[in-house]
């Protein structure tokens, strides 16, 4: 048995108008999200949306040859499955659990009904979607123009913002798949951060020791995404601890 996640643990659910949340509550189903679980595949119909509470989910684009790269991460600030209320019903990306935890699952039709019914909820969801698009666009730029070292710092910071503590469980192979780079590049970048005393890494376990230094070593992409997230999602308390 796992601890049942609560709607208040997802900041987007907590920010919904009280009447809208009350109507959704009977339909929210607690689910466990183990590491590596695929929530949906590219091109598949989206029948549910997921509101993570203490898990992180990566959205990946997968090429025909199997190569992949992450385009965004979603945690307790949002939801998985924006295509449901944007009218697409499917998406070319794959959603994979990056950090194990829990979520609340909701039938897509329930969300669409509420989205069309409540103007305040519609605005909130659209602002979240704009923040997600900003993250996707900045990730594309970062992957093209910045070093693996900088990309790893950005990725760690985005993940850290969506977790309650300073530790992540993630192998170098999985990080390489997320960033779309060779595993050796991630090994080298992680080794540099460890020698600088920024992280402690051992057997897939990453502990952030110096967040301030991690931000200094990251490219401007993290700051761009952070500013836009703070502007669009004032309900999401981005971390400033070290």
Rounded to two decimals, what is the model's pTM?
0.91
Query: How is the chain split into domains, by residue range?
Result: 7-119, 142-232
Residue 241 has pLDDT above 60, yes or no: no
> Are 7-119 and 142-232 equal in CATH topology?
no
**Contact 130/170 with Cβ under 8 angstroms?**
no
Residue 90 CA: distances (Å) to CA of 40, 93, 94: 9, 9, 10
When pLDDT is averaged across residues 67-92 and rounded to a whole number, the result is 88
CA dihedral 187, 192, 197, 198 (to 10 degrees): -70
As its CATH architecture, domain 7-119 has Sandwich (2.60)
CB-count burial class (<10 Å; 0-12, 13-18, 19+) for 26: exposed
Q: How confident is the model at residue 240 (pLDDT cuts 50, 70, 90)?
A: low
Distance CA 118, CA 110 (A): 12
- pLDDT tens string 215-239: 999 999 999 999 999 999 999 998 6
* Class of the domain covering 142-232: mainly alpha
pLDDT-wise least confident of 90-94, 151-155, 190-194? 90-94
pLDDT at 242: 44
Residue 88 has pLDDT above 80, yes or no: no
């Amino acid at each position: 048995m796992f601890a049942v996640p609560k709607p208040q643990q997802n900041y987007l659910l907590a920010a919904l108008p009280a009447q809208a949340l009350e109507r959704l509550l009977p339909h929210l189903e607690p689910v466990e999200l183990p590491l590596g679980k695929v929530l949906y595949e590219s091109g598949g119909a989206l029948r549910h949306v997921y509101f993570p509470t203490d898990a992180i989910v990566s959205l990946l684009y997968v090429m025909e040859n199997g190569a992949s790269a992450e385009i965004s991460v979603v945690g307790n600030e949002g939801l998985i499955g924006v295509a449901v209320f944007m009218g697409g019903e499917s998406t070319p990306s794959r959603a994979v659990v990056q950090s194990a935890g829990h979520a609340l699952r909701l039938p897509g039709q329930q969300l669409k009904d509420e989205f069309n019914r409540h103007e305040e909820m519609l605005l909130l969801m659209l602002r979240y979607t704009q923040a997600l698009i900003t993250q996707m666009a900045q990730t594309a730029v970062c992957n093209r123009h910045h070093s693996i070292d900088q990309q790893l710092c950005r990725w760690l910071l985005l993940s850290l913002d969506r977790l309650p503590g300073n530790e992540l469980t993630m192998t170098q192979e999985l990080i390489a798949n997320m960033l779309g780079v060779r595993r050796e590049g991630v090994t080298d970048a992680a080794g540099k951060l460890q020698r600088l005393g920024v992280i402690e890494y051992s057997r897939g376990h990453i502990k952030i020791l110096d967040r301030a230094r991690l931000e200094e070593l990251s490219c401007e992409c993290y700051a761009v995404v952070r500013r836009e997230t703070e502007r669009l999602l004032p309900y999401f308390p981005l971390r400033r601890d070290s």
